[in-house]
Amino acid sequence: MKKIFIIPVLFLLMTFQSCDSELDIAPENVLIEDKVFEEAGSAELAMAGLYHKLIEANGSNWGLAYSIGDITTDIMDLPASNSNMIYVTGNIPLDNELSKQAWVNFYSVINVANVFIARVPNIAKYDESTKEKHIGEAKFIRAYSYLRLLQLFGNGALTGNMDGMCVPLQLDPYDGLNIDNYIPRNTNGKVYAQIISDLNDAVELLPIEHESYQFSVARATKDAAYALLARIYLYKKEYSKVISMTDKVIDAGNHELTDLGLVYREVGDSQFGAFTKEHIWSLELFGNGGNWQFGSNELMSYENLSINTEFMKEYSDGDSRKDYLIYKVEGKEFYRTKKYSEPDKHDNVTILRYSEVLLNKAEALAISGVNKKSVDLINDVRERAGLSGEDLYMIEDFTSKEQLLKAIWQERKLEFACEGMERYDLIRTNRSLLDPNIPSNRLVLPIPQSEVIITEGVLKQNVGYL
């Protein structure tokens, strides 16, 4: 009888032994930071996540961070009852959606870029060239994200006020919170300096091209970094640097003006979404195929709001950009852009094109006075749009550099309509937005009021909203 007693005790001991290994069930689909950055393959997926998050930051899920560049100008025509009229009138409440969406998402991108920059040198076990590429891409993405925050929130950043309040420069990854270390908003000058420093590093680290042409546009390259630097120097009005940066892209010869029909293909084209030499950097969605579920842009406005019919008249007859830009919605008095027309919303989000590089250079040269090179560069862009003869400019058409600059700005408007650019061009050249009554300190958004509250005033609200 005593022996029976031993059986259950043994049984208990044995099961305890065997159960511990049964508890080693790691969750699928999840990895910890140390593991992600150990191997090139998983680090690549995290990098793809950064680019994808930029689509979100630019306003997928009906956000406006990208399209505010058009809807606050006379390119788009918002119905007066539209709830986004607040951005047009500048009567923006502190808790508006756009501020929150842009701020939260761009900083979320910046945090992961910071992780790459901090961890890859220490943890990664893959080859040096891939490591360099990853750090270069992370710096490029961080620079682009700070540029977007500067465009939206930096008070006076586009009009030369280098002491105006911009955004806090957070350059380390999240690693616990110390509430005594809240960073106040840095000045526009500091943020510009950080962006330029990151891009200068990126230029060194980034490759000329990636494994396929499609990826060379979908991911950052040397040319993309130069082109972005050119845009930034244009905003900073450092024109000689604009010329040297644009020359880097032009001289490298990787890009050219291609047929417009290839830049913005018709829906149904079997090559729809394929990049051409015109594209320098775009956020790529078409390669996902399938239905909406694999990620889509859903940028607010372009597929829901009408293009201003008055603006359409600014195109000359025969300007093929009008045909590529605009279509009339069947059965309705609505005009929409073909740049965002794919039914599953897989249009790539264009960020940098070769024509911008040319027009940036034209503008930088024109600052020194009327010159033939600038006129030629505008004409290159116009000729590609199918214009010729009378519709091309002659140097004699311009009696002052102001006239020439106006022509360049108008060309930018026609060329980049519905690419989220016009608002910032208007602000940096002291021209008014659609609503001329917006006070100058409301040409930026309020920072999310929750940031002011949570940091207990370390972050201060933009003065126009106090």
Partner 1 sequence: MGMCSPLALPSVLNADEYRQVYNQYLGELNGGSLASGNTSTDWLKEVTRKAISHNTSIGISAGSENSTYYLSLSNLKQESYIIGNDFERSSARLNFLYNAQESISFGTNISASFTNNNALNAQSIYQSAVLRSPIEPIFDEDGSYHYNSIRMNDSNPIQVANDDINTLKDTRIIGNIFGEIKPFSWLTFKTELGVDILSSESYSRQMKRDWLTGGSARQTNTSNRKLVINNTLTGAKVIGDHTINGVIGQSFETSRENRVSISGSNFSSDNVISISSAKSSKVNQAIVSKWAVFSTFIRMNYQYLGKYMAGVTYRLDGSSRFNKNSRYIGFPSFSLGWRASEENFLIDSEVINDLKLRGSIGFTGTDGSGGYYGNQGVYEIVNAGGGDTYKYGGNDVYYLTKANNPNLKWEKTKSYDIGFDAEIFNHRIKVNFDYYYKKIENMITSVNIPAYRGFTSISRNFGDMQNSGFELQIYSENIKKEFLWTTNLNLARNTNEVLRLNISDSANEANGSSIYVEGKDAPQFYLYDWRGVDAMTGNPIWSNADGSEVQTPPHSDSDNKKAFGSYFPEIYGGLTNNFNYKGFELSSFFAFSYGGHMLNGTKAQLMNYFTNDRNNLHTDILNNWKISGHQTDVPKLINGSVEVRNVGGSKSVTDYTSGLNSSRFLEDNSYLRLKTLTFSYSISGSLLKRIKVRRLRVYAQATNLFTITKYSGVDPEVSAFGSQAVMGGYDLLTMPQVRSYQLGVNIGL
Closer by beta carbon to partner 1, 16 or else 251: 16
- Within residues 411-450, the interface with partner 1 by CB under 8 A covers 448-450
Residues 6+ apart with CB under 8 A from 155: 161, 164, 165, 166, 188, 441, 444, 462, 463, 464
Query: Cα–Cα–Cα angle for 235, 237, 243, nearest 5°?
Result: 95
Of 148, 345, 459, 462, the residue at the interface with partner 1 (CB under 8 A) is 459
Of 121, 160, 261, 289, the residue at the interface with partner 1 (CB under 8 A) is 289
- Binding status of residue 112 toward partner 1 by CB under 8 A: yes
Of 1, 270, 331, 396, the residue at the interface with partner 1 (CB under 8 A) is 1
Closer by beta carbon to partner 1, 70 or else 411: 70
- Within residues 49-68, the interface with partner 1 by CB under 8 A covers 49, 51-53
- Within residues 361-390, the interface with partner 1 by CB under 8 A covers none
Using CB atoms within 10 Å of the CB of residue 234, give its burial: 0 to 12 exposed, 13 to 18 middle, 19+ buried: buried
- Binding status of residue 122 toward partner 1 by CB under 8 A: no
Asked whether the CA dihedral 125, 128, 134, 135 is positive or negative, the reply is positive
- Binding status of residue 156 toward partner 1 by CB under 8 A: no
- Binding status of residue 23 toward partner 1 by CB under 8 A: yes
One character per residue 72-101, x = contact with partner 1 (rule: CB under 8 A): --------xx-x-xx-xx-x-xx-----x-
Q: Please choose, from the candidates 411, 347, 416, 410, the residue with its C-alpha nearest in 3D space to the C-alpha of residue 379.
A: 411
| Residue-by-residue DSSP string for 372-391 | HHHHHHHHHHHHHTT--GGG
Closer by beta carbon to partner 1, 316 or else 441: 441
Of 170, 254, 429, 441, the residue at the interface with partner 1 (CB under 8 A) is 170
Closer by beta carbon to partner 1, 31 or else 267: 31
Closer by beta carbon to partner 1, 260 or else 447: 447
Closer by beta carbon to partner 1, 115 or else 196: 115
Q: How far apart are CA 238 and CA 227, in angstroms?
A: 14
- Binding status of residue 44 toward partner 1 by CB under 8 A: yes
Here the tokens at position 406 are: 């106006």
- Binding status of residue 103 toward partner 1 by CB under 8 A: yes
Alpha-carbon distances of 93 from 98, 114, 188, 219, 447, rounded to whole Å: 10, 31, 23, 36, 10
Minimum CB distance to partner 1, residue 306 (Å): 13
Alpha-carbon distances of 424 from 99, 220, 232, 257, 363, rounded to whole Å: 16, 23, 11, 24, 15
For residues 428 and 188, the answer to whether their CB atoms sit within 8 Å is no
